[in-house]
Every structure is written in structure tokens, then in C-alpha cells.
Amino acid sequence: MQVVTDFFTTIYHELPPNSNDTVLDTQVLDSLPIELTSILLCVNANNLEIYTKSNIFTMLLQQILHSSSQHTIENIKSIQQYLLYHTESKSLKLLKPYILRLNAAELLSNSDARNLIHFFTQASFNKDKNTQNNEKQIDIKALCNELETIYKKLHELQLGNHIDTTLQTIYNNAKNHKFSIGITGVLSAGKSTFLNALLGKEILGSSTVPETANLTILKYGEKEYAKVYFWNKQEWLELEKTAQYDKGLQNFVQESKEIFGEKIHDFITQDTKSTEIPLNELSTYTSANHASKLCNLVKKVELFTHLKFLQNGVEIVDTPGLDDPITKREEITKDYITHCDLLIHVMNASCVATQIDIDFILESLLHQNISRLLVVLTRIDLISEKDLEQSLEYTKSTLAMQLRKSEYRGDIENLIERIDFIPLASFFALLHKIGQPQKAIDKGFNLEKTGIVAVEQYLDKMLLGEDSLKQKDIMYLAYRGFLKTTRNAQDEIALELKIFNASKEDLESMIENLKQENANLLERLHKKQNENKVKQQELEGFLDSLQNFVNKSLKSEQDKLRSRIYDEAIYEYGRNNTVSKERVLEILELGFSDCFSDLSREYKYKLAKKITQMFEEYTDKTQPQIIFHAPKTQIAQSLAILQDSVPRLIASHSKSNQEELVSKLDSKFQESFHLFGNAIAEKNKEIREKFLDYFKQIAQLQHDEIQEQIAKKENILHNTLAQREKSNAKDIRNSILHKQKELEGIVKELDYITNALQ
């Protein structure tokens, strides 16, 4: 049964047990109420110990297994396997509220709860298409209006400044939410032409050679103009430093200095200089083919236009090519992608799925915060329909195969489902948009066949439609925040009412209980702070072990590459031949490319996995942004050391003194590889410092939250006692009762909408 396989691969990352000797009381299992079914399906290796401390849970296992001692995870898996085989899918869909309760009671981690909810509601049970089409779509616009209405109602109830402030923050975040779409691809993939077609006018430069040399951010504006940002002095110094070891960058810097001379300082200033320009001057600053070469000095451009897709905080970013010879631009692209919600990756249909394309897509999907990926195959007008079909199939299968081969621990099939593909004839689409449709039609491309309509419909669904995924996510977060805050207000009102109605004896008891609750809160705070210290020590120990792993791997790769070079030299010495310098340089370049790419990928994977594992419970707090790319400056510098010294060393030795070559090569290889090791050490140091600050922030937040809870309850007690003594105490009590009744209705509505949005 597929659901069992899906469950075990999603939750345990393994296949279901093939053979099973566990004896289960199936009568007990078949008669379980849904609450107990949910508990058994939520147990895993991480929380089993917590569950076994519960008398109810151990008694349940005793009934199922006929033994109170068999509390192994293997037996739990056997129970789960049976339940999944014998429970109807419609019943499994009802588990969500019970999973949320277990999560709220801290019996299930946030990550496990999300995985289970997603699995039971989406991943394993596809709705019948006809049923799905007939279901009423969620009206996001109506929900936006309703959120505002609820916000006003809650504000009118005068629930206190702390409640009002929290609600206002949640409401403003929903109202002003930003959503970023990245347009990526290799040089000449057709990004600019695609964006021009989407804009409906030729704003961005496009030609058969690379055009856009800078990061271009499209934002909504009633007035159309562009804002150009230049490199600052510090950034330019970094470019010059890297240019010492990078031939392409060296030519770029040299060309810029020759063209601009002393005038270069008019643009590259201490602080980043910016200037506003009309759109018709844009190519002067962004085109790599413009005679001015100003694009060399420009870091990024913000372009303001009234494209409908850019409304409501959406921005689209046209990035430099991934294979841009100026590595700093490539780093800017990769850094931007870490803040991107949706990625549109553009490929030339005649040369799809290159290694650069595949590596970048895998990196973005597996390690960044990309929610969805749209692959646009451009220039489809230049190939036959049969070739297009083959290109499309090849791209889909290659991506799916590479994702399945990756070491990703999540739901790969769900990840693959979030990738869409649209073929596009960008130039003909642009002709339709700028009032020259006949030229496109004569070539057999009406507007729909160009593919631009499909792209617009995709963006409509993602950004603007009533079933907009972006808006749905924003609304869900807002309604969930309102629900949590309103429930807190309910608790406070209930406490006020309890104090108001209490007798003298009850009050004394309540005060004692309050003191005990405060003591428990302080004890909880102390426990959390100790847990933070343990996590901090764990992270520091992991970073040390990661550094050791890097050092050992570098030593191993260093020895392998040096041995290849040495063996090549010995072979040629033995034949009395001159060792080919070109051959030596080729071995070095290939060896470096493979070694550092693989090691960087492994470092990043181990680091991301550990941080996710350690901090999954802190999903509601903004974690430090850890960005790691293969340190190209150090790699270029390391390679330059060997390219400069190794051929000379080999040429200065022969068969008669070949033994001396080993130690001299060792010295140069150690010097070269040490630079990369230092780069990793610097990254580890940066991570240590960032997370040390993060732990301090968490500790302070936890302290403030606990103290706020204590102060809040004490304030409610004192204020309500004072209210009891007033002459209009009856009116005050009625006001509290009114608030309680209003909140009850609002909570029900918020709860219903929140569940509908999930």
C-alpha cells in the first residue's frame, strides 16, 4: 500500500519493515478512537521517551502488545504500519487538529508536526479532480477585508496596550508583506527578452550577446524611472584584490581603469552612490555592449514601473548570468536568492539543463528558501516541435533524477511537484505586446502559442488571483497570529472575571496559586537557559569537528593531486621527455575544480543539516542568515600559487634528482591548500559569533517573555482588585462579561478561517 511506504519515507526516511514478528492485538487497534490513533501515529524516535512517561500511553501499549516492557521504536513502527494499512484515508485527514494539540503540548516538535500535517492532508491522498474543481475556492480578497474588520473589533474591545501592539504588528506585516521573484539563468539564456515580453515594452537591453551586466530589481511605481547604485570603495577594493588571481576579473578592472581614469572616483565613492534616471537611459548603465562601459561600475539597478504583477509588495529581479566571468556578480545573484520566494529559471530550449543550470537549481531548491520553481524554456521558435518536446522531457527527467540522487532528507516527490515548466517564444511574445502581432502570426505564433499567456496565468495564480498561493500564505500567518493573541486575551479576561467573582477565601487561594505559577515559570526559564547553554556547546563542538573534517579532506585531496602531478613528472622523466606545462596546468585546474566544489557542497550540507536539527523549535524566531558559496577568491589564489610554481619546479628537476621534487611539491601544495582551509575557518568563526549573539537574543527573549507573563498576571490581579472596590463595580463586571462573549465569537471565527487556510 503506497500510503505506508510514503509515511515511512517521509517520517523515518526509510522503507517500511519487510518482516514483522511483533504480535499486535488487532481488536484493540481496530476499535481505537481517533484521538488515540493520532497519538500512536505521532510517536517517533525523538519523542518516544516522553510518551513512555505517560501512564495512559504505557497502558495503551500494554493492551496492544500484551506487555508493558515492549516500548521500542521498532514495535511503534509495527503499530503505525498496521494503523495505516487499516485506516481509511478520509479518517487520516481528520488527524490534523489532534496533531496540532500534541504540538501545542510540546509532545511533538514543530518540524514533525508540519511533516505529519502535510503528509495526511496533501502528500499521500490526492483529491479526485472533479471534486477538487467543484470545491469553493477561498476568497482571499474577502479574507483581507475580514481581517481588517476583526482587527477593528478587537481594538474597540480595549483589551490592553500589549494586545493592541501585537495585533497591530501582525496586521501591518500582512498588509506590507514583500514577495520576491528571482529571474536566473546562464549568460544569453534570454532573461531580458523574457522580462521585456512580460513588461510589454522593450525596457531591458536584449541581443544575441550578453546584455544585462547587473542585478536589476523591478518594483511597482506609478511613475516610471530607474535608480542606479554604483560599487562603493570597499567593494571595489575587494574586486581589485580578487583580480590578482582571476584573469577575467583582472581584465575587467584594468579595462575600467583605462576607460574612466581618475573619473572613476566620481562614481565609486566611500558610501554607495546612487542616481535616478529615466528608463530610456537604462541601457547606458546596464548594457555590457554600450560604449560608455558604465555597467562596469554599477552594482545594481532598481526599476520602477506599473506592471500589475508588482503590486502589493512584489518585486522581480533580473540577475546577471550564473556563468558571469565577474565572480562578484555571481555572488550577488546567489546572495539575493537567499531572500527569494519564487524562482523563475530561464534556459535556452536548444541547450537545456547544462551542469551550471542543474547545480544552481539543486542548490536553490535544497538549501534556500525557494517555495516554488518555474523553468522557462526560451527561443522555442528556433527549434522544431519534436526537438522542443525532447528538450522539455530531458529537462524534467534530469532535474527529477538529480533531486532523487541528492541527500535531501525531506519529501523529494513533493519538491518535484513544485517545479513547473513553460516553453516560451519571448521575441514573438514581445512583438504581440508592442503592437506588431502580424510579424509573429506570420511565423505561426499567435499570442497563446508564444507561451506568455501561460506565464501570466501562472503569476496570476501565484500572486494576484483569489486562490493566490502567496496571499493565502500571508493570510494564514496573519489569522494564526490573531488567533494566538486573541486566545491570550481570552485567558486574561477569564482571570479578571474569576478574580472579580471570587470570595475572600478564594482570593487568598488564587494569590497562592499565582505565586506558585510564577515560581513554575521561573523554573521553566532556568531550564530553557540551561538547554540553550547545552545547544551552544553542541554547536561549538560540531563546528570544531566540521573544521577537522575539512582539514582531513583537504589533506587527502592535496596528497591525491600532488601524487598525480608527481607521477606525471616521473613518467615523462623516465622517457627522457620534457613535461608538458599545458598538461600540468590542465591536471591542476580540473583537480581544483572537483576538489573544492565537492568539499564546499559537503561542508554546506553538513552545516545546514545540523542547524536545521538544532534549531527546529525556534522557527518563530529569525535565525542568523548563513550564506556560504565556494570561496572563489581563495580558490583562484590557491590555484595561482600552483600554476605559477609547479611547472617551474618540474622543469628544474629531472630523473637524477626526482626524489627532491616530492618535498618541494609538498611545500607548495600545503601553502596552496592552506588558503582554502583558512576560508572555512573564517566561516566557522563567523557562524560561532552569529549564533553566540543568537543564543544571547533567545535567552533575553525568553527572560522577557516569562517576566512579562508574571507581571501581566500580577497587574491583572491588582487592577481587578482595585476595580472591585469601585462604586460602579457592577458595570465593570458587565463590561468584562461583554468582552468575554465577543472574544468567544471572534476566536471561533479565527479558528475556522485558520483551519481553512492550512
Cα 359–189–402 angle (5° rounding)?
Answer: 25
Low-confidence ranges of the chain (pLDDT < 50): 123-137, 206-212
The confidence score (pLDDT) of residue 208 equals 35
Confidence (pTM)? 0.56
Quote the strand ranges of 135-273, DSSP E.
179-184, 215-220, 225-230
Which tens digits make up the pLDDT trace of 41-54?
888 888 888 888 88
Distance of alpha carbon 443 from the chain centroid: 42
The H-or-E segment that residue 544 falls in is helix 504-574
Is the torsion defined by CA of 64, 68, 74, 80 positive or negative? positive
If DSSP codes are grouped into helix, strand and coil, which group holds residue 52? coil
The single residue listed with the C-alpha cell 580558490 is 635
Cα separation of 737 and 544, whole Å? 59
The confidence score (pLDDT) of residue 300 equals 85
If DSSP codes are grouped into helix, strand and coil, which group holds residue 147? helix
Q: Compute the mean pLDDT over every residue in the chain, rounded to the nearest whole number.
A: 80
The confidence score (pLDDT) of residue 18 equals 66
Distance of alpha carbon 412 from the chain centroid: 15
If DSSP codes are grouped into helix, strand and coil, which group holds residue 378? strand
Which tens digits make up the pLDDT trace of 694-741?
888 778 877 877 887 787 777 777 777 777 777 777 788 888 888 888
Check residue 293 and give left, alpha or beta (phi > 0: left; psi -120 to 50: alpha).
left
- What values do phi and psi take at 476, rounded to 5? -60, -45
694 touches 688 (CB < 8 A): no
Cα separation of 735 and 713, whole Å? 19
Which tens digits make up the pLDDT trace of 579-605?
888 888 888 888 877 777 778 777 877
- Here the contacts of 540-547 (C-beta below 8 Å, separation 24 or greater) are 540/688, 542/610, 543/684, 543/687, 543/688, 546/603, 546/606, 546/607, 546/684, 547/680, 547/681, 547/684
For 80-112, b/e burial (b = at least 16 CB within 10 A) is bbbbbeebeeeebeebbebbbbbbeeebbbebb
- What values do phi and psi take at 325, rounded to 5? -65, -20
- Quick one: cell of 90? 478520509
Identify the CA nearest to 377 among candidates 404, 328, 344. Answer: 344
